[in-house]
Amino acid sequence: MKILMAEDDMNIATIAKMALEALGGHEVVHVPDGEAAYNMTKKDTFDVVLLDEMMPKMNGLSVCKKLLSEGFDTPIIFLSAKSQATEISILESLASGFIPKPFDPATLASQIEKILEENE
């Protein structure tokens, strides 16, 4: 599976990328902000997009809304530290799923796969 991951924290991005590639066998393209994520969706195709909510230049929610308004049909999953039920509810209403931070690197790939299966 080819995954676009937008994450501004390099430590989190490195751990997630390593976990998804080494344990999940996926190809991961990492970008450091929302604007780069949006632009990358125009340059390449992905099986899933992982978006952090709090990022520079364009937050994950803005990226998600913009992509959806343009008819983007690739599954979007938020990978976020947001913890309030109302915030999570908003993210889940727009995206295919939500994975809270901190996440378990050992199960990240299976969490993504489970969300994708539930949305088929």
Please state the domain extents for the chain.
2-9+28-118
Q: For residue 92, is pLDDT > 90?
A: no
- pLDDT at 82 exceeding the cut of 90: no
Of the candidates 59, 63, 61, which has an alpha carbon nearest to the alpha carbon of residue 46? 63
Q: What whole-number percentage of the chain has pLDDT above 70?
A: 100
Residue 84: pLDDT band (50, 70, 90) is confident
C-alpha span between 62 and 68 (Å, rounded): 10
pLDDT at 87: 83
Q: pLDDT digit string (tens) for 57-81?
A: 999 999 999 999 999 999 999 998 8
* CATH number of the domain located at residue range(s) 2-9+28-118 in this protein: 3.40.50.2300
pTM of the predicted model, to two decimals? 0.93
> Cα(103)–Cα(29) distance, rounded to whole angstroms?
19
| pLDDT confidence of residue 91 | 84
CA distance to 23, 65, 84, 105, per residue, from 72 (Å):
28, 10, 27, 28
Q: Name the strands in the sheet holding 97-100, side by side, starting at the edge strand that comes first in the sequence.
A: 27-31, 2-6, 48-51, 76-80, 97-100
